[in-house]
Amino acid sequence: MKEHTPIDKLIEPAVKRVAQRETSYFQKSEILTEVLKNKTLSGLLADIKKRFGGWQFDTVILRYIDGRVGQVLQQRDGNRIRVYECYAAGGRERRWLPLRAMTADTLLAVMRETRTQARQLEIKGEGYELFYNELKGTKLTIEDVYDKVVPMIRDYRTGKGAA
Confidence of residue 2 (pLDDT cuts 50, 70, 90): low
Give percent above pLDDT 70 in the chain. 96
Which residues does residue 97 pair with via DSSP β-bridges, in sequence order?
A: 85
Average pLDDT, the chain: 92
Can you give the residue ranges of every domain in the chain?
Answer: 6-102, 112-158
User: Residue 36's pLDDT is what?
Assistant: 96
pLDDT for residue 60 is more than 70: yes
- What is the per-residue pLDDT across 14-24, written as a single tens digit (0 to 9) for each? 999 999 987 78
Asked if residue 92 has pLDDT above 90, the reply is: no
Share in percent of the chain as helix, strand, coil (round to 5): 65, 10, 25
The answer to whether the CB of 7 falls within 8 A of the CB of 65 is: yes
Give dist(CA 45, CA 50) in Å, integer. 8
Residue 76 above 80 pLDDT? yes
The letter for the amino acid at 75 is Q
Tell whether the model's pLDDT for residue 161 goes beyond 80.
Answer: no
Angle at 2 between CA 83 and CA 85, to 5 degrees: 15
- DSSP assignment of 103-140: -HHHHHHHHHHHHHHHHHHHHHHHHHHHHHHHHTTS--
Dist CA 16 CA 19 (whole Å): 5
